[in-house]
Chains A and B, each alone.
Chain A
């Protein structure tokens, strides 16, 4: 028994150190920071074009933080559950009022639409190419439900619509899919050091397509904040760390 224990100690601690073998740290989570343009489909569900009339065609700039729990690592794939939160904002000058409508003249105020998109996602990352064939590409797929909280400031104060505060929340669902480029392949030594010292297993840059249907599942009392940047979708790009 004592001999066996000694053997295990030597095997686990000493041999890898002497041989310079790399023992990756456990991988249970992923963190993503991503950015992209986002044009909401507000105007598609209404009689007028309030978004375009106010903010023009310029998309909002969306920033998203995502944290995933990778609960299962079958060969060649990582499955996880994740949550994300982001922020985007559209702003423009309010117009002065002529009669009961807007003039073409900018006022001193800004009219600002703020949106915080929350989502809960199921995530599948296909690690097989990178892990087994040494091709540093990781395709991934995500789907889940979301909740976009929005509010509108007029001249620094919450606006109102028919006497109600100009704010609300729209639930929906979404699909994200894209490709990640595993950066470890470009500098393996640094990647291993990063893992040994910080616990980050893999680093990626990635791009993804996002289809979000955020209209209260068809409920027209909700503001339609679905993606409409490019034919019903948008793209995001960012950095991902697995740890």
Chain B
């Protein structure tokens, strides 16, 4: 008797490890295809399934696995389960099998393997030719973790960090030239096994505050009395006197840890000291950084660790095998963050943790800083009316202020209009101040505006609109009456 092909198969969700990014196996229900990853390859994880179409209970019910149990050769075919006639299992039609028992290759939990499962209902479970087998279920075990991302770099920004890595999409290509100027970079050792069934599907940036690290700007190391500069964000570490717990170096310019390894971006500059007493004859300033896991605090995740869903770090998902960067935002300037990247494949196997870098989000230097340094100014806040009338307390200026506060500010978009005026009025005010004719023209115009808007200022928005509506309706009514009389 051949059981029905109408199989159903489900994975016992409560025994399957749940990933923090969600893989809701409880709701997953596949009819003839099951995908398992390394997290499923544990002693207590079972496949649970139902068999339908069993016609009578007089026979054994047998489950086989292998590549070709349906073929005459029966090579690689083995019995997984058997249930005697009229046993509780056959009566209940509820079946379960440990994942590791499905096939010998599944026991090692480090191989990619695809096997088929069949069911037969016959007078014994011996493997023989001519067995009437059900339709097979394909069980894919992808237990190999994908390759760890390499070439990790971290670029700080204001309250954010941009993390870069070498895309695994190009992993087989020649090693890309590192053309970045000043980012921290290392090569990581790839995972020894790489997935052959499932492709890398994306990456996770994992990060956490590195509470044990010293934070700050560039490391200013004064020989002599060890006085630090008071530069912005310059909370560096005195040379050789770093008291950070387990931390042999400081942070550089919000950029990364200082390490002993001479990286391409590390520069040691000796400058004359700015100490007037001359007790600090030179100052050693370190620019740039290299990466080194030992430069972060001793706490937290490390390179080569397994990804731990309960690891206490945050995860930023970056979907796409070809992606090579991602930005984590909402960070605190001045705080040190421990950063690493893992890759994951389509079966949600996760690689070992990549190189770990520490970096500090920090204020950046942009156009506004350059402009301020060069003497440029943002919009000045003064009043056209004050410029024209010469006094903030002039009655017309007061009337205009009242119009602003009592009427304009309560209109939809009025606040934006006022803001725009305050932003761009100063230039006009300067222009007005410098010209007597201009002052006279503006005075005349603003006086008319002040007189015209005074009723609105006194009434407020709603009464003013109500009154206006009444006036319009009254005018219409008056016009209609006049036309009728004609």
- The answer to whether the Cβ of B161 comes within 8 Å of any Cβ in the partner chain is yes
| Contacting pair B427 A170 (CB below 8 A) | yes
Complex contacts, B368 vs chain A, CB 8 Å? 111, 152, 154, 159-161, 166
List the B residue with the shortest CB-CB distance to A160.
B368
Complex contacts, A24 vs chain B, CB 8 Å? none
Size of interface on B: residues with Cβ below 8 Å to A: 55
Find B253's partner among A97, A154, A221 (CB 8 Å cutoff): A97
Write out, one digit per residue, whether chain B residues 142-184 have a CB within 8 A of any chain A CB (1) or not (0): 0000000000000111111110000000000000000001110
- The answer to whether the Cβ of B430 comes within 8 Å of any Cβ in the partner chain is yes
Write out, one digit per residue, whether chain B residues 351-376 have a CB within 8 A of any chain A CB (1) or not (0): 00000000000111111111111111
- The answer to whether the Cβ of B481 comes within 8 Å of any Cβ in the partner chain is no
- The answer to whether the Cβ of A167 comes within 8 Å of any Cβ in the partner chain is yes
Closest-CB distance, B124 to chain A (whole angstroms): 68
Cα A47 to Cα B374 with chains together (Å): 5
Cα A48 to Cα B375 with chains together (Å): 8
List the B residue with the shortest CB-CB distance to A97.
B365
Complex contacts, B254 vs chain A, CB 8 Å? 96-97
Find B156's partner among A43, A54, A108, A168 (CB 8 Å cutoff): A108
Complex contacts, A55 vs chain B, CB 8 Å? 367
Known contacts: A96-B156, A97-B253. The answer to whether A108 contacts B371 by CB under 8 A is no
Complex contacts, A20 vs chain B, CB 8 Å? none
Cα A55 to Cα B288 with chains together (Å): 23
- The answer to whether the Cβ of B234 comes within 8 Å of any Cβ in the partner chain is yes
Complex contacts, B374 vs chain A, CB 8 Å? 43, 46-50
Complex contacts, A106 vs chain B, CB 8 Å? 155, 181-182
| Contacting pair B161 A104 (CB below 8 A) | no
Known contacts: A109-B364, A171-B428. The answer to whether A99 contacts B156 by CB under 8 A is no
Q: What is the predominant secondary structure among interface residues of chain A facing chain B?
A: strand
| Contacting pair B371 A161 (CB below 8 A) | yes
- The answer to whether the Cβ of B268 comes within 8 Å of any Cβ in the partner chain is no
List the A residue with the shortest CB-CB distance to B269.
A98
| Contacting pair B423 A109 (CB below 8 A) | no
| Contacting pair B430 A221 (CB below 8 A) | yes
Closest-CB distance, A60 to chain B (whole angstroms): 12
| Contacting pair B427 A97 (CB below 8 A) | no
Size of interface on A: residues with Cβ below 8 Å to B: 56
Find B218's partner among A98, A154, A161 (CB 8 Å cutoff): A98
- The answer to whether the Cβ of B48 comes within 8 Å of any Cβ in the partner chain is no
Complex contacts, A171 vs chain B, CB 8 Å? 427-428, 431
Cα A112 to Cα B364 with chains together (Å): 13
- The answer to whether the Cβ of B424 comes within 8 Å of any Cβ in the partner chain is yes
List the B residue with the shortest CB-CB distance to A49.
B374
- The answer to whether the Cβ of A230 comes within 8 Å of any Cβ in the partner chain is no
Complex contacts, A42 vs chain B, CB 8 Å? 371, 376
| Contacting pair A159 B367 (CB below 8 A) | yes
- The answer to whether the Cβ of A102 comes within 8 Å of any Cβ in the partner chain is yes
| Contacting pair B372 A162 (CB below 8 A) | yes
In the complex, which of the residues A46, A107, A169 has the most CB atoms of chain B within 10 Å of its own CB atom? A107
| Contacting pair A219 B431 (CB below 8 A) | yes
| Contacting pair B161 A108 (CB below 8 A) | yes
| Contacting pair B327 A108 (CB below 8 A) | yes
Find A168's partner among B218, B233, B373, B427 (CB 8 Å cutoff): B427
Cα A54 to Cα B378 with chains together (Å): 17
Write out, one digit per residue, whether chain A residues 144-165 have a CB within 8 A of any chain B CB (1) or not (0): 0001010010110101111011
List the A residue with the shortest CB-CB distance to B154.
A108
Tell me which residues from 103 to 142 in chain A have a Cβ below 8 Å from any Cβ of chain B. 103-109, 111-113
Q: Known contacts A168-B377, A219-B434; can you find 17 more A-B pairs with CB under 8 A?
A: A49-B370, A50-B373, A94-B366, A97-B365, A98-B217, A100-B232, A102-B365, A105-B288, A113-B367, A147-B424, A152-B371, A159-B368, A162-B377, A164-B379, A166-B368, A167-B378, A223-B371
Q: List 18 A-B contacts (CB under 8 A).
A: A48-B370, A94-B366, A95-B364, A95-B366, A97-B363, A99-B231, A99-B234, A105-B181, A107-B155, A109-B366, A113-B367, A152-B368, A161-B378, A164-B378, A164-B379, A166-B371, A221-B426, A223-B376
